[in-house]
């Protein structure tokens, strides 16, 4: 017994059980919610991973080959594009190989001012084509200098119109192929036809493109390039 005047608190029957039971229910509820949140995060992460991986593959397009007036080696990423063009030529899909010529870069212009000879990519592409069995007479260098893909497509389209040809095979790199097709359709339309092929030996890896700097840069450039096409070419190259 307590001292005189001391209050004695008698717990009501079942009170502590209800309190501890509530704590247990609350803990279970938070555990369930945390598990559900974790599952959602895992699902979202998986979907993002699938989307990122799918983006790498989505950029690749490879149209069925058809007989055409020429195979065009679009500028850049040599020697792989020239190698693919030589293979297409050897299979007799076209009687000529055209090579575009890029404008001189700021670095090349600086070298020219210093009196140093600059060998353009078109010279290397011609050498690759000849090494792989394309006769010199079948190689045509398009001398009008171009700045970007739009310039290349406009130039090729004009040449096709000049010789009254209805189709051409455009050889590019894997990640660039969708933008080439999209740009051709936006600039030229369906006639004459542009058949887009990518270089089979291009080392681009669509399955793990984010793990290699060159592939990551290529994907970023192509995504922004496609956005520019869809928006009507608001971003233009420097003159």
pLDDT at 146: 93
Contact assessment for residue 119 and residue 161, using Cβ atoms and an 8 Å cutoff: no
Architecture of the CATH domain 71-230: 3-Layer(aba) Sandwich (3.40)
What would the pLDDT profile of 190-207 be if each residue is shown by its tens digit? 999 999 999 999 999 999
Contact assessment for residue 145 and residue 103, using Cβ atoms and an 8 Å cutoff: yes
Query: For the chain (length 239 residues), average pLDDT per consecutive 10?
Result: 52 49 63 56 46 86 97 92 98 97 79 78 92 97 92 96 96 97 96 96 93 94 94 84
pLDDT at 192: 95
Query: How crowded is the C-beta side of 214, counted as CA atoms within 13 Å?
Result: 9
Residue with tokens 């063009």: 85
Q: Which helix (H) or strand (E) holds 47?
A: helix 15-58
pLDDT at 106: 76
- Angle at which helix 213-230 crosses helix 15-58, to 10 degrees, equals 80
What would the pLDDT profile of 156-197 be if each residue is shown by its tens digit? 999 999 999 999 999 999 999 999 999 999 999 999 999 999
pLDDT at 32: 58
Cα separation, 126 vs 108, in Å, equals 19
pLDDT at 173: 96
pLDDT at 46: 41
Residue burial 112-148, b: 16+ Cβ < 10 Å; e: rest: eeeeeeeebbbeebbebbeebebeeebbeebeeebeb
Nearest CA-CA partner of 178 in 197, 193, 192, 160: 197
Cα separation, 118 vs 92, in Å, equals 33
């Amino acid at each position: 017994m307590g001292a005189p005047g001391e209050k004695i608190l008698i717990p009501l029957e079942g009170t502590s059980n209800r309190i501890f039971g509530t704590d247990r229910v609350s803990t279970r509820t938070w555990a369930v919610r945390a598990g559900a949140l974790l599952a959602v995060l895992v699902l979202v992460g998986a979907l993002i991973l699938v989307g990122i991986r799918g983006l790498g593959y989505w950029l690749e397009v490879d149209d069925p080959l058809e007989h055409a007036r020429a195979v065009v080696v679009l500028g850049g990423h040599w020697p792989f594009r020239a190698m693919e063009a030589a293979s297409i030529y050897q299979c007799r899909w076209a009687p000529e190989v055209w090579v575009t010529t890029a404008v001189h870069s700021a670095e090349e212009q600086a070298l020219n001012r210093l009196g140093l000879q600059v060998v353009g990519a078109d010279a290397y592409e011609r050498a690759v084509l000849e090494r792989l069995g394309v006769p010199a007479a079948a190689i045509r260098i398009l001398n009008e200098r171009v700045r970007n893909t739009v310039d290349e497509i406009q130039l090729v389209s004009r040449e096709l119109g000049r010789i009254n040809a209805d189709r051409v095979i455009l050889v590019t790199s894997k990640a660039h192929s969708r933008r080439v097709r999209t740009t051709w359709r936006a600039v030229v339309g369906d006639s004459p036809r542009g058949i887009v092929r990518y270089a089979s030996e291009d080392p681009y890896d669509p399955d793990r493109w984010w793990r290699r700097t060159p592939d990551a840069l290529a994907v970023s450039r192509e995504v922004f390039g496609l956005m520019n096409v869809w928006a009507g070419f608001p971003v233009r190259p420097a003159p």
